């Protein structure tokens, strides 16, 4: 029987490395349970997690990325109050900062389906449906993971970046949706290593001074639960 309950945790503003350590711990715990089950023939259920967080200004580079896509040095990083980390997800360089919704699903995909491409497409669909709730038409761009606006035009711009890692069908890392993000920080990088395309935010697209982040997050949860046919429950460390 598939275990489709997902524990949802709100982490608030948290340093990137602290959230990464938490992800790694949950990821390792899930894999350890699966290994133990296969070794002993037991069926202890794995726990699925969805972490919501915002980070202080930070640039992260995926394992296949090019560090030259970060356009500033350590001195400039310090000046703008940002950090830089090389990490173990797929993808190139991205930025995280206040006003952005970052979601880290740590899921055992064997509880859902064993198809990493379907997993990525469902995450993208969750974003597309959420933006549609605000009257914004967004879409995928062929060969470029994430969610975009005006694909195929000179005005193509990215509103949500994605990068994941998976091992033994367990996922980590995830998505970053620009809501009220200071887009000036993207000027210091080549977003996702893609030249000639810009980035945007929900606030900019709606022409508002501020978009309630918690409101957007609730829409994301609704669409996540429906697409993954899952029940989102509050975090319970006893489970």
Question: Is the model's pLDDT at 193 over the cut of 60?
Answer: no
Give me the phi and psi of 56, to 5 degrees please: -60, 165
Whether 215 and 221 have beta carbons less than 8 Å apart is answered as no
pLDDT at 67: 87
Query: Which of the 8 DSSP states describes residue 191?
Result: G
Mean pLDDT of 23-48: 94
As given in the structure block, the two tokens for residue 61 are 């580079």
pLDDT at 194: 59
Whether 55 and 22 have beta carbons less than 8 Å apart is answered as no
pLDDT at 238: 57
Q: What is the pLDDT of residues 44-95, one digit of tens each?
A: 999 999 999 999 999 998 887 888 889 999 999 999 999 999 887 877 888 9
Please name the residue that has the structure tokens 């598939």.
Answer: 2
pLDDT at 88: 79
Q: What is the pLDDT of residues 88-115, one digit of tens each?
A: 787 788 899 999 999 999 999 999 999 9
pLDDT at 89: 80
Active-site hit among 192, 199, 213, 216: 192
Whether 214 and 228 have beta carbons less than 8 Å apart is answered as no
Sequence-ordered strand ranges (E) for the chain = 5-13, 48-54, 58-61, 83-86, 93-96, 100-106, 139-141, 144-149, 157-167, 170-178, 198-199, 231-234
pLDDT at 206: 98
pLDDT category of residue 1 using cuts at 50, 70 and 90 = very low
Whether 36 and 44 have beta carbons less than 8 Å apart is answered as yes
Question: Is the model's pLDDT at 34 over the cut of 60?
Answer: yes
Domains, the chain, ordered by start = 5-234 (3.30.930.10)
Question: Is the model's pLDDT at 147 over the cut of 80?
Answer: yes
Which is it for strands 5-13 and 231-234: parallel, antiparallel or unpaired? parallel
Q: What is the pLDDT of residues 199-235, one digit of tens each?
A: 999 999 999 999 999 999 999 999 999 999 999 999 8
Mean residue pLDDT of the chain comes to: 92
Using alpha carbons, select from 154, 155, 146, 137 the residue that is nearest to residue 62: 146
Annotation says 192 is catalytic: yes
As given in the structure block, the two tokens for residue 175 are 């998505």
Question: What residues contact residue 18 under an 8 Å CB cut-off, 6+ apart?
Answer: none
Mean pLDDT of 119-134: 97
- Distance, in Å, from the CA atom of 8 to the CA atom of 16, rounded to the nearest integer, reads 18
Listed range (32-41, 55-64, 171-180, 186-195) with the worst mean pLDDT: 186-195
């Amino acid at each position: 029987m598939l275990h489709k309950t997902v524990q949802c945790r709100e982490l608030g503003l948290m340093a990137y490395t602290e959230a990464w350590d938490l992800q790694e711990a949950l990821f390792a715990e899930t894999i350890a349970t699966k290994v133990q089950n296969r070794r002993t023939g037991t069926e202890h259920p794995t726990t699925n997690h969805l972490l919501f967080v915002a980070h202080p200004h930070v640039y992260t580079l995926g394992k296949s990325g090019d560090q030259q896509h970060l356009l500033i040095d350590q001195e400039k990083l310090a000046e703008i109050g940002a950090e830089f980390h090389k990490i173990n997800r797929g993808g190139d360089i991205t930025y995280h900062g206040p006003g952005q919704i970052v979601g880290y699903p740590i899921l055992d995909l064997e509880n859902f389906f064993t198809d990493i491409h379907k997993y990525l497409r469902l995450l993208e669909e969750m974003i597309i449906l959420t933006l549609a709730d605000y009257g914004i038409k967004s879409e995928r761009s062929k060969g470029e993971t994430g969610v975009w606006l005006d694909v195929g035009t000179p005005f193509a711009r990215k509103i949500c970046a994605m990068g994941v890692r998976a091992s033994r069908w367990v996922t980590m890392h995830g998505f970053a949706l620009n809501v009220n993000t200071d887009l000036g920080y993207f000027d210091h990088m080549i977003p996702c290593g893609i030249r000639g395309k810009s980035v945007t935010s929900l606030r900019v697209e709606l022409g508002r001074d501020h978009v309630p982040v918690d409101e957007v997050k609730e829409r994301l949860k609704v669409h996540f639960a429906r697409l993954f046919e899952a029940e989102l429950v509050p975090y319970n460390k006893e489970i």
